[in-house]
Amino acid sequence: MRALYKLAIIGVAFALTSTLLLLVPVTALYATPLFQAEDEPRRQVLYINSYHRGYKFSDDITQGIEAVLKEPGRNVDLLVEYMDTKRLDSPAYLEELYQLYKVKYGSRQPDLVISSDDAALNFLFEYAQDLFPGVPVVFSGANYFDVTRLVGFPNFTGVSELADAQGTLDLALELHPQTRRIVVVNDTTVTGQRVHERLSALEASYPEVTFTYLEDISMDNLRLQLSQLSSDSLVLLTIFFRDNAGGFFEVDVFTPLVSESSTVPVYGLWDFSLGYGIVGGKLTSGATEGERAAQLAVRILNGESPEDIPVVQEPAARYMFDYEVLQRWNIPESALPRDSFVLNKPFSFFEQYAQIVWIVGISFLVLAAAIAILIFNIFRRRRAEVQLTQSLTELQESRALLEERVQERTEALRQRATLLEAAAEVSRATTEIVDLDVLLPTVVGLVQQRFDLYYVGLFLLDESGEFAMLRAGTGDAGRAMMAQGWELRVGGQSMIGRCVATGQADIQLDVGEAPVHFDNPHLPETRSEMALPLRVRGEIIGAMTIQSQRMAAFEQDDIRTMQTVADQVAAVITNARLFTQVQEGLAAERRAYGEMTYEAWQQLLLASSNLGYVSDRRATRPVGDVWRPEMQSALDTGRIVAGESGATLAIPILVREQVVGVIDGRKKDGTAWLPEEITLLQSLVDQLNVAVESARLYEESQRRAMRERLVAEVSGRLRASRDVETVLQATIRELGQALGAAATIRMTPLAADEVVVPNAVVPNAVVPNAVVPNAVVEPEVHR
């Protein structure tokens, strides 16, 4: 114990001695200037900080400003205002700040104003001429400042904060030559927007690398995507103070979250992220930016005009790295640029602080021995308690595990039932529709609604079988693609083309990683996709695409259910096509029969000119040449036409949709026809249509039977003759008797070189082509 007491005394003495040694030079440093500057006038410098105390980069800028302005002999009073725009930046809030500063500094103008970051600079551009007329303004932390903004502000100058993104990217790609993708983590604040513009301008310098921006995103989604990066990726962390869910994150919060979530190394642009998990990079320091701005302020306070001081546009970044992170990613220190600053680099602590190490080591041993004794006693007292509670713990764990399994199974069954119910509803809703133009939009709409999907599209093969044509799609995207005549080549670079070519379903739970995927500009939010073949009796007629905004949105039960729906849709489409073909065939038959009917009626009406009758109270007689205008109109249009007074009514006689006549009705008392009278007339005319067509068909069948009987009788008499002259004479006689006309048969001998045509009935016989009624020709036969 006496030895321990001596060691404790030695430690206390060492601490007091070290403190005195540190205080002496500090006191000497600050004592002399106070007396030297006692009689010089003091200057008032107002420093407007965009953010809040505790925000590391702003605090570093403040530290740099104070380091310069509080040097001996400066005689400067530094007034600091924090705008806190990371948490609140509405126009109403900025207006309140303006009113506050107007009250605070309206009667006591500062000699110079310094601002840090873009929010404070934008505020000064808006209000400085009113709040601080004629007062010089020096800005710092203005990201990629555009000097054209100084037009009209001659008293403004400062330092443009140029984060050396290219320097960091060049170094990162040199250390990781396999990199093919840079994932940029950035927010949408004013600073974030400036950084995005700069990085976008640099993309052309790296043609072999793809840039992906994770900006307007929640922290949870950001961490999820970072945890799924491939090994050929790198992360470039800029700033992420605010996510799209409204959450605010300090540097010491968002940097560890990003670094711990990423599966690949993370590089940065500012030194405030160093030490929280990033590898490093060519980093911009807030303290350096503050010092450079304060040096410009000193020049102005010493008499220089702001107009004569150009904006500082040169970057002041430095290569800085974290030793522990370098070790984590196996990056050798020898690969870093010369003069790089390495944080957390180990050094020989024992050699530098040997005495302290001995004191602490011995103290630790003493404390460890005491702790060991206490732990031994505690262990003995708690051993029984552990044994008693062990059984209860195991029982509780078993019960919790059983309840969890029951809950998971119940939820799985509920989801399965929901899917089957939705599939059944789609099937019921589509089986009664036979019009493809109605069926296809109905199918995709029902599938999208019932299964809560982002997009559903239905493709059918064209006649050549080379392209899958989009026939229906949901939402504005579907309508736009339909208007463009969207088509995909079978077997091409698309999931639909591959699905139709192979006849197999194609499922991608993450389309970004898919080997075959067509990047559709109309559907930018697609994360998961299924392409399902439409198969009927082994034949592929098309495919259905089902897309979701969620990654890994489909499970095995979903895939089986969706394929069942696709098979039902294929069957319904095939049935609709067959129905359409049958309807078209029936329509063609009706048209053909209607044309035949029309020709038959034309022949009948030509043979019986002026076929028509008129009936009144006296008698029924032929109509003559009566043909009123309304009758002609009804004949032309096929619709009922009333006269001007309404007392006359022309109703067309329709036979198989062909107008063959008109019934003209006229009221003797001159009154108009009533609707019920017109309905009665139309019913009678419908019966007349059937009756006249039946009568015509009967007459036509009678004439056909008479012709066939006459041909049979004449053929029988001709077959009874045995020589040529008798046959010829019998033929002329029978033709004359049957037709009531004269006919002549002439026969001439064959020429020497003339060939008899096979199957000719009478060689070189001249037979009249037409029978002319009432024409008399004497029979004449030549041998």
553-597: pLDDT as tens digits: 887 777 788 888 888 888 888 888 788 778 778 777 777 766 677
**571-579 contact pairs (CB < 8 A, 24+):** 571/536, 572/430, 572/431, 572/433, 572/439, 572/443, 573/436, 573/439, 573/440, 573/460, 573/534, 573/536, 573/541, 573/542, 574/536, 574/541, 575/434, 576/433, 576/434, 576/435, 576/436, 576/439, 577/436, 579/434
Six-digit token string for 63:
């530290």
Whether the pLDDT of residue 546 is over 70: the answer is yes
DSSP conformation class of 766: B
Q: What is the pLDDT of residue 742?
A: 67
Q: What is the pLDDT of residue 673?
A: 84
Cβ atoms of 471 and 460 closer than 8 Å: yes
Provide the 10 A C-beta neighbour count for residue 126: 13
Cβ atoms of 579 and 435 closer than 8 Å: no
Predicted confidence band of residue 40 (pLDDT cuts 50, 70, 90): low
Helices (H) and strands (E) in the chain, counts: 19, 23
Whether the pLDDT of residue 16 is over 50: the answer is no
What residue type is 607 in one-letter code? A
Q: What is the pLDDT of residue 4?
A: 42
Whether the pLDDT of residue 751 is over 70: the answer is no
Q: How far apart, in whole angstroms, are the C-alpha atoms of residue 686 and residue 680? A: 10
Torsion of Cα atoms, 60 then 65 then 67 then 73, to 10° = -170
CA 41 to chain centre: 66
* Reported pTM: 0.40
Q: How far apart, in whole angstroms, are the C-alpha atoms of residue 520 and residue 488? A: 11
Q: What is the pLDDT of residue 783?
A: 33
Whether the pLDDT of residue 762 is over 70: the answer is no
Mean pLDDT in residue range 505-521: 76
In terms of average pLDDT, the best of 6-15, 94-103, 381-390 is 94-103
Phi-psi region of 657 (alpha: psi -120 to 50; beta: other; left: phi over 0): left
pLDDT tens sequence across 85-119: 988 889 999 999 999 999 999 888 999 999 998 89
Least confident interval from 367-376, 451-460, 470-479, 706-715: 706-715
Length of the chain: 783
Which alpha helices (H) appear in 310-434, and where do they start and end? Answer: 323-328, 349-352, 354-431
% of the chain surpassing 90 pLDDT: 32
Least confident interval from 22-26, 138-142, 374-378: 22-26
Helix axes 436-451 and 354-431, enclosed angle (nearest 10): 150
Under DSSP, is residue 551 helix (H, G, I), strand (E, B) or coil? coil
Q: What is the pLDDT of residue 82?
A: 94
Q: What is the pLDDT of residue 19?
A: 44
pLDDT tens sequence across 67-80: 999 888 888 999 99
Q: Which residue has the higher pLDDT, 726 or 454?
A: 454
Least confident interval from 351-355, 422-426, 557-561, 685-689: 351-355
Least confident interval from 6-10, 318-322, 499-503: 6-10
Predicted confidence band of residue 756 (pLDDT cuts 50, 70, 90): low
Mean pLDDT in residue range 735-763: 60
Q: Whose structure tokens read 């969207």?
A: 486
Phi-psi region of 670 (alpha: psi -120 to 50; beta: other; left: phi over 0): left
**Burial of residue 691 (number of CB atoms within 10 Å: 0-12, 13-18, 19+):** exposed
Q: What is the pLDDT of residue 153?
A: 93
pLDDT tens sequence across 110-149: 999 999 988 999 999 999 999 999 999 999 988 888 899 9
Cβ atoms of 189 and 242 closer than 8 Å: yes
Predicted confidence band of residue 312 (pLDDT cuts 50, 70, 90): very high
> 99, 196, 180: which is closest to 143 by C-alpha?
196
Q: What is the pLDDT of residue 269?
A: 92
**47 DSSP β-pair partners:** 80, 114
Predicted confidence band of residue 393 (pLDDT cuts 50, 70, 90): confident
Q: What is the pLDDT of residue 510?
A: 83
**666 DSSP β-pair partners:** 648
Least confident interval from 122-131, 202-211, 254-263, 357-366: 357-366
Six-digit token string for 680:
């009665």
pLDDT tens sequence across 643-687: 777 778 888 888 777 787 888 887 777 788 888 888 888 888 888
Q: What is the pLDDT of residue 392?
A: 84
Q: Show Cβ contacts of residue 440 under 8 Å, excluding neighbours closer than 6 positions.
A: 458, 471, 472, 573
Cβ atoms of 262 and 301 closer than 8 Å: no
Predicted confidence band of residue 413 (pLDDT cuts 50, 70, 90): confident
Six-digit token string for 783:
């041998």
> CA gyration radius for the chain?
51
What residue type is 305 in one-letter code? S
Instruction: List, as one string, the DSSP characters of 127-168.
Output: HHHHHSTT--EEEEEEET--GGGGTT-TTEEEEEE---HHHH
Predicted confidence band of residue 26 (pLDDT cuts 50, 70, 90): very low
Backbone angles phi, psi at 539, to 5 degrees: -105, 130
What's the mean pLDDT when you consider all of the chain? Answer: 81
> 236, 172, 165: which is closest to 194 by C-alpha?
165
Whether the pLDDT of residue 14 is over 50: the answer is no
Q: What is the pLDDT of residue 383?
A: 85
Q: How far apart, in whole angstroms, are the C-alpha atoms of residue 505 and residue 509? A: 13
> 456, 454, 451, 453: which is closest to 440 by C-alpha?
456
Cβ atoms of 747 and 765 closer than 8 Å: yes
> 282, 357, 353, 263: which is closest to 321 by C-alpha?
282
Helix axes 354-431 and 556-607, enclosed angle (nearest 10): 30
Q: How far apart, in whole angstroms, are the C-alpha atoms of residue 572 and residue 578? A: 10
**615 DSSP β-pair partners:** 620
Q: How far apart, in whole angstroms, are the C-alpha atoms of residue 574 and residue 538? A: 13
Whether the pLDDT of residue 43 is over 70: the answer is yes
Distances (CA, A) of 114 to 128, 519, 559: 12, 49, 63
Whether the pLDDT of residue 625 is over 60: the answer is yes
Under DSSP, is residue 81 helix (H, G, I), strand (E, B) or coil? strand
Backbone angles phi, psi at 472, to 5 degrees: -160, 140
Under DSSP, is residue 58 helix (H, G, I), strand (E, B) or coil? helix
**Burial of residue 284 (number of CB atoms within 10 Å: 0-12, 13-18, 19+):** buried
Q: How far apart, in whole angstroms, are the C-alpha atoms of residue 49 and residue 66? A: 13
Predicted confidence band of residue 771 (pLDDT cuts 50, 70, 90): very low
